[in-house]
Structure 1
Amino acid sequence: MARPRKPLLSRERIVEAASALVDAEGLSAVSTRRLAAELGVSGPSLYNHFRTKDEILDAVADAVSAKVDLSMFAEGDGRDWRTALHDWAVSYRAALADHPHIVPVLAQGPGRRPAGLKVADAVFGAMVRAGWPPAQATYIGALMRYFVTGSALGSFARGFVDDETAYDPADYPHLGQAHLLAEHRQKVDEGAFETGLRALLDGLAMQYEPLRDRSRPQDRSAAAEQ
């Protein structure tokens, strides 16, 4: 029996094609008609795997979430909660930075996406095990998502043009070097991310200190004697 000229259509092939389109041209480039043409199939055949375009974009977003390292949250890994959050945030941002056009979909939250839900579950579980109250663990998960997805939505450095005549010192006396930012985009954006991440974790550590103090056995013993 002769093999088909093209591989059989599958969810994986559809997601790969959609991901390539999103990466190259943005979310607006994705349509069932365009995907069908890219895959060499008829449009209706896509509906055997996905009911809507939004479901396809959800799958693309979840494929990106699946690339995020969660090993630091595994029981027995040995990293404290702060180090784990830092390492996870770096991995999370790296995954999003490789696929910036899908970030608006990811920013909406995991919904029913399996990989996205595993991320949320891992962060929440690790924070609770570290001693954070469940409500505060929820806030931390939300905060980290806001911070990481926000950092991946755009580039601060690319927001300035590389024309040194664009920023007249008479109007913008402190932007004399702003035209150089675009040239150093990666350094500026990564430096800003690390600076913000450290500040965020420092703030959480200050909130965590009283929780740790209350959990110490000697504190509980002293309280019982009073």
Structure 2
Amino acid sequence: MGRPRTPLLDRARITTTALELVDEQGEFSVPQIARRLGVQTASVYHHVDGRDGIVELLRERVAAAIDSGSLDHGPWDTAMAAWARSYRAAFAAHPRAIPLLTTSPVRAPKVLEQYEKAVGLLLAAGFPLPDVMPVIIALENLVLGSALDMAAPERMWELSDETATPQLARALGALGEGRADAAFELALAGYLAHCREMLTDG
């Protein structure tokens, strides 16, 4: 028998195509995926659990670039900082996926495993159970906001008349290269300092 003209449809190809669409336009639909792959929409549904299933495949694909192994080594604060930097880099590669993924419940088992590790790390460090998820969510807010900032123009403030905002003009003039990285590291340091205080006060 001859080989099929179009490679067999599978979840990996569906995920890749969905991510391409999200990177291009910030959204996807199952019919769009089918058209791009040259198949019927019904054929896509044979391989995935609807649109929500594709969202979770996207989450797994993006999160696969996060080094969760950092959560297994070193003091809790060093481990969380390393995880945060890796998490940020993974999502910065696909900033248009952030609104899509942050407005959908996390169900992907491989992603939930990372949260399980983070929870275990914080509990072992001595954080009270009620504080654990707020600590993780706060870090995610920091990471995802910074990942979006990395996709923004380097010059986010355009002053048509510097005399109207002289102090802002001076501050922008003093801003060095890599403003997104500098701001992220500042926020991360402040976050970790506060979390250390939480442990001491607790």
Q: What is the TM-score with the length of structure 1 in the denominator? A: 0.79
CA contact (8 A) 2:55 2:101 kept: no
- Residue 157 of structure 1 and its aligned partner are, at CA, apart by 5.9
CA contact (8 A) 1:156 1:189 kept: no
SS of residue in 1 equivalent to 2:164 = coil
Deviates further, 137-146 or 86-95: 137-146
Residue in 2 aligned with 1:170?
A: 163
Q: What is the TM-score with the length of structure 2 in the denominator? A: 0.88
Q: Which of the pair has the greater relative contact order for Cα pairs under 8 Å at 6+ separation?
A: 2
Structure 1 residue runs without a partner (length 5+): 212-226
State how far apart, in whole Å, the 1-side matches of 2:92 and 2:107 are: 23
Structure 2 residue runs without a partner (length 5+): none
Residue in 2 aligned with 1:8?
A: 8
Q: Is residue 129 of structure 2 the alignment partner of residue 106 of structure 1?
A: no
Q: What is the percent sequence identity of the aligned residues?
A: 33
Aligned pair partner of 1:130 in 125, 132, 140: 125
Amino acid at match of 2:21: L
CA contact (8 A) 2:48 2:54 kept: yes
Over 3 Å counting, the alpha-carbon distance change for 1:180 and 1:157 in structure 2 is farther
SS of residue in 2 equivalent to 1:176 = helix
Q: Is residue 31 of structure 2 the alignment partner of residue 33 of structure 1?
A: yes
**Moved segments of 4+, more than 3 Å:** 154-157, 159-163, 177-181
- Residue 84 of structure 1 and its aligned partner are, at CA, apart by 0.4
Aligned pair partner of 1:200 in 183, 186, 191: 191
Work out which of the two has the higher radius of gyration on C-alpha atoms and give 1 or 2. 1
Residue in 1 aligned with 2:57?
A: 59
State how far apart, in whole Å, the 1-side matches of 2:107 and 2:44 are: 20
- Residue 51 of structure 1 and its aligned partner are, at CA, apart by 3.9
Amino acid at match of 2:48: F
Over 3 Å counting, the alpha-carbon distance change for 1:9 and 1:179 in structure 2 is farther
Aligned pair partner of 2:181 in 187, 190, 198: 190
State how far apart, in whole Å, the 2-side matches of 1:80 and 1:161 are: 36
- Residue 129 of structure 1 and its aligned partner are, at CA, apart by 1.1
Aligned Cα RMSD in Å? Answer: 2.4
Tell me how many residue pairs correspond in the alignment: 201
State how far apart, in whole Å, the 2-side matches of 1:108 and 1:132 are: 27
